[in-house]
Structure 1
Amino acid sequence: MRPKTQSSLNIKLIILGFLLAFFLLLVLRTSFSSSPHEQNPNTPIPLSVHDQEEPSGALASSSNPTESPTTCPPSSSSTDDHHQSCTKIPPNLVDTLIHYVTTNITPQQTLREISVTSQVLLNKSPCKFLVFGLGRDSPMWSSLNFGGRTLFLEEDKSWIEQVKQQFPYLDSYHVEYDSKVHQANDLMNIGQEEEDCKEVVDPRSSKCQLALKGMPREIYETEWDLIMVDAPTGYHGDAPGRMTAIYTAGLMARNREVGETHVFVHDVDRTVEDRFSMAFLCEGYMRTQEGRIRHFTIPSHRSSLPSTPFCP
């Protein structure tokens, strides 16, 4: 997940372009959503976000992450002043734009790899986005999901503190892993042979050795729209590896009440990411692969027939 220092002007430009396009989309949405009420004074005005019921499964946050980016708070100021304040670029987006314009450190994913996830985000946001890994691309993902909930899971406490010093608005949790890359073959056999690993349940209740059980409660109790597995470290034998992260991402996707979850796995050029994503996210659910990233769309199994197979 952590990037290497590089001077890739193209990646910088595409990130900047994505963020600017996303902000322009927010402005246009705000303009279109407000125009019907301006044209017809008899049209009922929607309740403010403070009067609406909070969506079920949403996580609490001081910045109200479930609030739509096109919804503006009540204001006693004039209509023109209020509209201007609603379309003003938020401070977090300003910080992100400045960061990527001025830094020589760019995300480790390539342009095309970033585009796979960003296209889904542009269609789904604001949404709930869970990312295994905290890195230099985290401000980008958080900004592209502006108004939604983006949460990062990181294995290294000191790295969390380092990133948070520069980007205090990023939400992250420390997560511990008890697996090792050199155990991957044994874990693969367990996952494929034991019936407990085919049972679709809350990971905390799973008897499968691959299920992560030590994460904060709200991770399990949220129905994530997107999950990206780009951590933990997996490039040497004693590293934690992504075996349990990949399996748990797939289990959470299947265990949601209804709908589907978009799951992305990075570094599929490596053996663990390749084999485990195909085995537990399932080749039949794969939508695309671009470079080292794979995109899976996994439907809810709880709303399906009991006989629905773990993989199609």
Structure 2
Amino acid sequence: MRSKAQYPLNLKIILVSFFFLFLLFLILRSSFSNPLQNSIKPSNSSYSIQESNPRDCPTLPNLIPTFHYTTLNITPQQTLQEISVSLKVIEKKSPCNFLVFGLGHDSLMWTSLNHGGRTVFLEEDKSWINQIQSQIPSLESYHVVYDTKVTQANELLEIGNQEECRVVSDPRLSKCQLSLKGFPNEIYDIEWDLIMVDAPTGYFDGAPGRMSAIYTAGLMARNRENGETDVFVHDVDRDIEDKFSKAFLCEGYLQKQEGRIRHFTIPSHRTRLGRPFCP
């Protein structure tokens, strides 16, 4: 049997416990009250470019699309372990300029994780752009055309080793056949902090393949005025993605590989004249 002197103390403990539980509830409710759509920038060409500044890790609402994406009843483009490689870099650089080759089920996730920055998607399939934009109209995406085929990969790899493809310049001015020149001018004018190559299609002979996308991503990174660009290539278990990422993003710039994704960090080649194409 408890003594009467214990009741006031126990009552105080109970009241204090309820107070902290109530405070925790208010904090959590505040964290979840911001709608996800507020973290996505509208798509228009006059959008102002954000400078890349360090910031804290993404808030819990910004992480919700990640877990939603990985639990969809579809085959995920990337596993949670693969996503974590890019996420660590985004946590350090966001808000930043993030260019993604490919528009998919993970696009809302990338845009939300880069909260306050600019995330742009380049997609080969115009009908797919229309379908995604009907569901998420705020995503900024552009239709692009590729003139290569997977069957040309070996020939293009040899071309890429020629001297004209080792010259760092604006992709629009490059004499290299691998350089993509048909993007909107705005894509070339922005200095991208992150580039994700997860397109175009490359799993059958008639597909365009990612040869030019990988080369151009590397060229954009080297041609920035200063600083460095983190470039990610997905599906490196395939022959083209494996060989072209090693050749044009360079094994010397490789930071990490997790599953089917590789992370390269490529410095500006304009800040140090004479820097070799690959270290």
Same fold (TM over 0.5): yes
Q: Structure 2 vs 1, CA of residues 283 and 97 (structure 1 numbering), >3 Å: closer, same or farther?
A: closer
What do residues 191-239 of structure 1 show as CA deviations (whole Å, max 9, x unaligned)?
01x2110000000000000000000000000000000000000001110
Aligned mates of 2:184, 2:233 — CA distance in 1: 22
- Asked if residue 247 in structure 1 is aligned to residue 233 in structure 2, the reply is no
Report the 3-state secondary structure (helix = DSSP H, G, I; strand = E; otherwise coil) of the residue aligned with 2:120.
Answer: strand
Q: Structure 2 vs 1, CA of residues 275 and 95 (structure 1 numbering), >3 Å: closer, same or farther?
A: closer
Q: Structure 2 vs 1, CA of residues 101 and 237 (structure 1 numbering), >3 Å: closer, same or farther?
A: closer
Q: Structure 2 vs 1, CA of residues 95 and 124 (structure 1 numbering), >3 Å: closer, same or farther?
A: closer
Do 1:150 and 1:171's aligned partners in 2 also have CA atoms closer than 8 Å? yes
Do 2:123 and 2:141's aligned partners in 1 also have CA atoms closer than 8 Å? yes
Q: How does 1:107-122 map to 2 (within 5 A)?
A: 107-122=76-91
Report the 3-state secondary structure (helix = DSSP H, G, I; strand = E; otherwise coil) of the residue aligned with 1:227.
Answer: strand
Q: Give the deviation of 1:96 after TM superposition.
A: 4.6
Q: Structure 2 vs 1, CA of residues 218 and 233 (structure 1 numbering), >3 Å: closer, same or farther?
A: same
- Which residue does 1:60 correspond to in 2? 46
Q: Give the deviation of 1:111 after TM superposition.
A: 1.2
Report the 3-state secondary structure (helix = DSSP H, G, I; strand = E; otherwise coil) of the residue aligned with 1:239.
Answer: coil
Q: Which amino acid aligns with 1:311?
A: C
Report the 3-state secondary structure (helix = DSSP H, G, I; strand = E; otherwise coil) of the residue aligned with 1:105.
Answer: coil
Q: Which amino acid aligns with 1:297?
A: T
- Asked if residue 178 in structure 1 is aligned to residue 147 in structure 2, the reply is yes
Identity %: 68
Gaps of 5+ in 2: 1-27, 35-44, 54-58
- Which protein has the larger Cα radius of gyration, Structure 1 or Structure 2? 2
- Which residue does 2:103 correspond to in 1? 134
- Asked if residue 275 in structure 1 is aligned to residue 243 in structure 2, the reply is yes
Q: Structure 2 vs 1, CA of residues 291 and 66 (structure 1 numbering), >3 Å: closer, same or farther?
A: same
Report the 3-state secondary structure (helix = DSSP H, G, I; strand = E; otherwise coil) of the residue aligned with 1:264.
Answer: strand
Aligned mates of 2:278, 2:148 — CA distance in 1: 24
Q: Structure 2 vs 1, CA of residues 60 and 170 (structure 1 numbering), >3 Å: closer, same or farther?
A: same
Q: How does 1:300-311 map to 2 (within 5 A)?
A: 300-305=268-273, 307-311=274-278
Q: Give the deviation of 1:65 after TM superposition.
A: 6.0
User: TM-score under structure 2 normalisation?
Assistant: 0.78
- Asked if residue 153 in structure 1 is aligned to residue 139 in structure 2, the reply is no
Q: Structure 2 vs 1, CA of residues 105 and 247 (structure 1 numbering), >3 Å: closer, same or farther?
A: same
Gaps of 5+ in 1: 1-20, 28-58, 70-87
Report the 3-state secondary structure (helix = DSSP H, G, I; strand = E; otherwise coil) of the residue aligned with 2:205.
Answer: coil
Do 1:131 and 1:229's aligned partners in 2 also have CA atoms closer than 8 Å? yes
Aligned mates of 2:49, 2:182 — CA distance in 1: 24
Q: Give the deviation of 1:105 after TM superposition.
A: 3.2
- Which residue does 1:223 correspond to in 2? 191
Number of equivalenced pairs: 234
Q: Which amino acid aligns with 2:276?
A: P
Aligned mates of 2:70, 2:239 — CA distance in 1: 35
CA RMSD of the aligned region, Å? 2.7
Q: Structure 2 vs 1, CA of residues 276 and 89 (structure 1 numbering), >3 Å: closer, same or farther?
A: closer
Q: Which amino acid aligns with 1:191?
A: G
Report the 3-state secondary structure (helix = DSSP H, G, I; strand = E; otherwise coil) of the residue aligned with 1:298.
Answer: strand
What do residues 236-268 of structure 1 show as CA deviations (whole Å, max 9, x unaligned)?
111000000000000000000000000000000
